[in-house]
């Protein structure tokens, strides 16, 4: 069994948490725009740390990619380890992981010994199962993206020791180190850049002009 590593922004969700937290923070306090650049210059990890202190994301309202979730559940049933590995801050990443639980319905027999006759009735219970077995994410001192993410995954699972699901060319170092490169919401540019790899295209990015053409013509 090969571990499945899943990216968060624009893969598991159809948005970017750095964008969401930046807009949310600046909307609450527009004056922070003057120190936002200072945070950024301290490093992306530091920037993300400052944003988490000032803005909470309601993860229940995020636009989740159902195709990705369905694929994860399929791999989960096969017994594969599923890990969320994201450049987003760890606080947001763990919130998303905790939100995404699988409801598993279990039926068990309960003997009612108060009756004169032996009588069994079925009682249904619902058990929550984590969709992700572990979370790897950024903190104030380390941004888990691109080459950094590839190095940490190789360190943990070995070269070609994992499958990776992502969406952007910044994921190329990770895909090149993975056993299977799973492409989500990717344009043709990414597909062309990964032709030398063992790939599975889960979904392609549809150009906006094509959407407008289909809508109005």
Contacts of 12 (CB under 8 A, 6+ apart): 6, 64, 65, 68, 69, 84, 96
Query: Residue range 177-206: average pLDDT?
Result: 95
Residue 119: strand, helix, or coil: coil
Q: Is the pLDDT of residue 115 over 50?
A: no
How high is the pLDDT of residue 46? 95
How high is the pLDDT of residue 85? 97
Q: Cβ of 200: how many Cβ atoms within 10 Å?
A: 12
Residue 133 near residue 82, CB atoms below 8 Å: yes
- List pLDDT tens digits, range 30-50: 999 999 999 999 999 999 999
Query: Residue range 184-201: average pLDDT?
Result: 95
Q: Is the pLDDT of residue 110 over 60?
A: no
Query: Residue range 114-142: average pLDDT?
Result: 67
Is the model more confident about 128 or about 201?
A: 201
Among 8-17, 107-116, 136-145, where is mean pLDDT lowest?
Answer: 107-116
- List pLDDT tens digits, range 72-88: 999 999 999 999 999 99
Q: In Å, what is the CA distance from 47 to each residue of 13, 25, 40, 76?
A: 21, 12, 5, 34
Of the pLDDT bands very low, low, confident and very high (cuts 50, 70, 90), residue 207 is low
Paired strand residues for 199 = 181
How high is the pLDDT of residue 3? 97
Whether the model clears a pTM of 0.85, i.e. scores above it, the answer is: no
Q: Which domains occur in the chain, in start order?
A: 4-216 (3.40.50.1000)
Q: Is the pLDDT of residue 201 over 50?
A: yes
Query: Residue range 189-202: average pLDDT?
Result: 96
């Amino acid at each position: 069994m090969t571990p499945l590593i899943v990216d968060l922004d624009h893969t598991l969700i159809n948005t970017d948490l750095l964008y969401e937290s930046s807009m949310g923070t600046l909307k609450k306090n527009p004056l922070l725009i003057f120190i936002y650049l200072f945070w950024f210059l301290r490093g992306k990890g530091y920037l993300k740390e400052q944003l988490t202190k000032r803005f909470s994301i309601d993860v229940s309202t995020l636009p989740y990619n159902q195709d990705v979730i369905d694929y994860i559940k399929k791999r989960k049933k096969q017994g594969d380890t599923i890990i969320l590995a994201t450049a987003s801050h760890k606080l947001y990443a763990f919130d998303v992981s905790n939100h995404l639980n699988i409801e598993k319905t279990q039926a068990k027999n309960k003997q009612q010994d108060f009756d004169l006759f032996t009588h069994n009735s079925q009682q249904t219970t619902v058990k929550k199962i984590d969709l992700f077995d572990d979370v790897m994410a950024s903190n104030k001192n380390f941004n888990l993206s691109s080459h950094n993410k590839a190095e940490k995954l190789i360190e943990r699972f070995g070269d070609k020791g994992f499958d990776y699901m992502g969406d952007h060319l910044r994921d190329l170092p990770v895909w090149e180190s993975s056993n299977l490169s799973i492409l989500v919401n990717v344009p043709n540019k990414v597909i062309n850049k990964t032709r030398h790899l063992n790939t599975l295209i889960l979904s392609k990015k549809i150009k906006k002009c094509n959407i407008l053409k289909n809508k109005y013509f």
